[in-house]
Amino acid sequence: DAGVIQSPRHEVTEMGQEVTLRCKPISGHDYLFWYRQTMMRGLELLIYFNNNVPIDDSGMPEDRFSAKMPNASFSTLKIQPSEPRDSAVYFCASSKQGFANEKLFFGSGTQLSVL
Amino acid sequence: GDSVTQMEGPVTLSEEAFLTINCTYTATGYPSLFWYVQYPGEGLQLLLKATKADDKGSNKGFEATYRKETTSFHLEKGSVQVSDSAVYFCALRSRGSQGNLIFGKGTKLSVKP
């Protein structure tokens, strides 16, 4: 099993540009999560999907952020326009069935730097 | 709402020292509790878990016991190694949460030879 795959691994962009982060969850997992990690705030849940449907997007900071999951094997997190304060590591994670004791499998993250 | 509080780091220890990282939680009902570890440049991975009171999770020499009376899930290891240097996250998942994990802010551990 290849695990959760995220791309790109690093992204450097200028303020105002559109940024798209990509994630391929583990096959058979029906929950997908997007997290943001910063020194100040730690790990924050941005949004999660169940069977490709967004369940809770209350963590999405602003309308500049949007996420989609067009099918069971692909999700994107888009920031438009990007700002320097969006600089962070963005993690995608997936899990099966969402039971309380199921573990999350994390990708290696995308390090985003907005100049 | 549900929350997790863990001790602030960084924690610096010598090899073979005893490790404790404190974690307390606030939750309705009886959540499942987890410790995740993040090695440099990698995503988080599950270290251990406990799903009910008095359960002890263990893995790679690490242990944590689910203490309902003190709402705690402290991580311990008797003898740390340099390879244990990482960031450790305590987390909970409420049974009604539909899968959402709530994480603490993480504790960075550095082990010196």
In terms of pLDDT, which residue wins out, B54 or B41? Answer: B54
Whether the pLDDT of residue B2 is over 90: the answer is no
pLDDT of residue B49: 94
The answer for residues whose C-beta is within 8 angstroms of residue B60's C-beta and 6 or more apart is B47
Strands (E) across A17-101 are located at 19-24, 31-38, 42-50, 53-56, 65-71, 74-79, 88-95
Q: Among A22-26, A82-86, B24-28, B98-102, where is mean pLDDT lowest? A: B98-102
> Residue B92: phi, psi to the nearest 5?
-135, 155
Q: Among A8-12, B37-41, B79-83, where is mean pLDDT lowest? A: B37-41
The distance of A80 to chain B (nearest Cα, Å) reads 25
Contact between A5 and A94 (Cβ < 8 Å): no
User: B60 by DSSP, 3-state: which?
Assistant: coil
- The stretch B87-102 carries a mean pLDDT of 80
Contact between B18 and B76 (Cβ < 8 Å): yes
Q: Using the beta-carbon criterion (under 8 Å), do B99 and A48 form an inter-chain contact? A: yes
Among residues 13-52 of chain A, which lie with CB inside 8 Å of chain B? 31, 33, 41-43, 45, 48, 50
DSSP bridge pairs for A45? A35
Contact between A22 and A4 (Cβ < 8 Å): no
Distance from first CA to last CA of chain B, Å, rounded? 41
Please list the pLDDT of chain A residue by residue as tens digits (115 residues): 679 999 999 999 999 999 999 999 999 998 999 999 998 888 889 999 999 999 989 899 889 999 999 999 999 999 999 999 999 999 999 988 755 557 889 999 999 999 9
**CA A16 to each of CA A13, A36, A62, A81: distance values in angstroms, whole numbers, following the listed order:** 9, 19, 14, 4
Give the burial class of B21: count Cβ atoms within 10 A of its Cβ; 0-12 exposed, 13-18 middle, 19 or more buried: buried
pLDDT of residue B98: 60
In terms of pLDDT, which residue wins out, B101 or B38? Answer: B38
pLDDT of residue A103: 80
- The stretch B82-90 carries a mean pLDDT of 96
The answer for residues whose C-beta is within 8 angstroms of residue A35's C-beta and 6 or more apart is A43, A44, A45, A46, A90, A91, A92, A93
Most confident option among A57-61, B12-16, B25-29: B12-16
pLDDT of residue B19: 97
Q: Using the beta-carbon criterion (under 8 Å), do B42 and A108 form an inter-chain contact? A: yes
pLDDT of residue A2: 78
Residues of B in CB contact (< 8 Å) with A are: 31-32, 34, 36, 41-46, 49, 51, 89, 93-95, 97-106
pLDDT of residue B42: 86
Tell me what the pLDDT averaged over chain B comes to.
92
Contact between B35 and B88 (Cβ < 8 Å): yes
With bands split at pLDDT 50, 70 and 90, how would you rate the model's confidence at B29? confident
Question: Which member of A31, A41, A101 has the closest CB to residue B51?
Answer: A101
In terms of pLDDT, which residue wins out, B19 or B29? Answer: B19
Can you list the pairs that B54-60 forms with residues at least 24 positions away whose Cβ atoms lie under 8 Å? B57/B33
Q: Which of B77, B57, B78, B59 minimizes the C-alpha distance to B67?
A: B57
Question: Which member of A56, A101, A105 has the closest CB to residue B49?
Answer: A101
